[in-house]
Amino acid sequence: MATKPVAVEGDVSATPGTTPYSGADSGTWTAGAVSYKRYDKLTVGGQKAVYEASCDFSFSGTNSGGSTVKGNETVTLTASSTTLQGGTSNVIRDGDRASGSYGNELRTSASGDLKSA
């Protein structure tokens, strides 16, 4: 059975959405830095394997009356269920993704094989 590569810090990218925040007619989403939660003893190429990634997105726009509308949304990507070495542990793998209500998205592109430290 083929396995998917496992994500490490830097393998998850944030893409801003295009749907305006509630109450706005137009505006722009901006992605902040992606933050990670990692395992101490599971590694990929010497880096710790990731089981959760999140990003805060901020919105700045206007409504039909010309008033400024600001908002934010946090998108969290949690690992799908996998079984590692007879126990249940979850890791983020290549192709995993999560989306928020406004189209903000986290997407994984990983290429490393999992090792135990």
Q: Parallel, antiparallel, or unpaired: how do β-strands 47-62 and 87-88 relate?
A: unpaired
Residue 90, pLDDT score: 84
Regarding pTM above 0.85, the answer is: yes
**Is the distance from CB of 58 to CB of 32 less than 8 angstroms?**
yes
Percent of the chain with pLDDT over 90: 69
Assigned token pair, 117: 């430290």
Q: Per-residue confidence at 89, pLDDT binned at 50, 70, 90?
A: low
Secondary structure (DSSP) of 16-73:
---SPPTT-SEEEEEEEEEEEEEEEEEEETTEEEEEEEEEEEEEEEE-TTS-EEEEEE
11-45: per-residue pLDDT in tens? 999 999 999 999 999 999 999 999 999 988 888 88
48-87: per-residue pLDDT in tens? 999 999 999 999 999 999 999 999 999 999 987 665 554 5
Q: Enumerate the domain spans of the chain.
A: 34-58+72-116
